[in-house]
Amino acid sequence: MEVELKNWKNKNRLIQIKSKPYRDDDGNVKYFICTAEGVTKQRSAEAELYKAKDQAEAANIAKSQFLGNMSHEIRRPINGVFGFFELLQSTDLSLEQKEFLREAKSAFS
């Protein structure tokens, strides 16, 4: 069990208390062996880890939303460029112009 106590500086501290019964040969409880351990720092560190985990998850969500938005913002103009490539292909182009167009299309793929 954990209890909160005040130390000599009147600060709250968490103490974990464990007990184990000591039994005689007949199985009767003769006494208890108890230990008390300060766990304030451990609980504080655990709270910091949970906070850091929550912040990392929030950052990951923000990153995913940003990349999703950027993907859309980049795809839209690229689709327009591809549309112009298609229009250009249907016109009379020299061999050199067709090669330039093919290179430009492959650069976007």
Whether the per-residue pLDDT at 109 is higher than 80: the answer is no
User: Pick from 82, 77, 76: which is nearest to 104 by CA?
Assistant: 82
Strands annotated E in 1-109: 2-6, 12-23, 29-38
Note the pLDDT tens digit of each residue in 15-70: 999 999 999 999 999 999 999 999 999 999 999 999 999 999 999 999 999 988 88
pTM, to two decimals = 0.53
End-to-end CA, the chain: 63
Whether the per-residue pLDDT at 12 is higher than 70: the answer is yes
Note the pLDDT tens digit of each residue in 62-95: 999 998 888 878 878 888 888 888 888 888 888 9
Which residues, listed in sequence order, are joined to residue 37 by a DSSP beta bridge?
16
Strands 2-6 and 29-38: unpaired
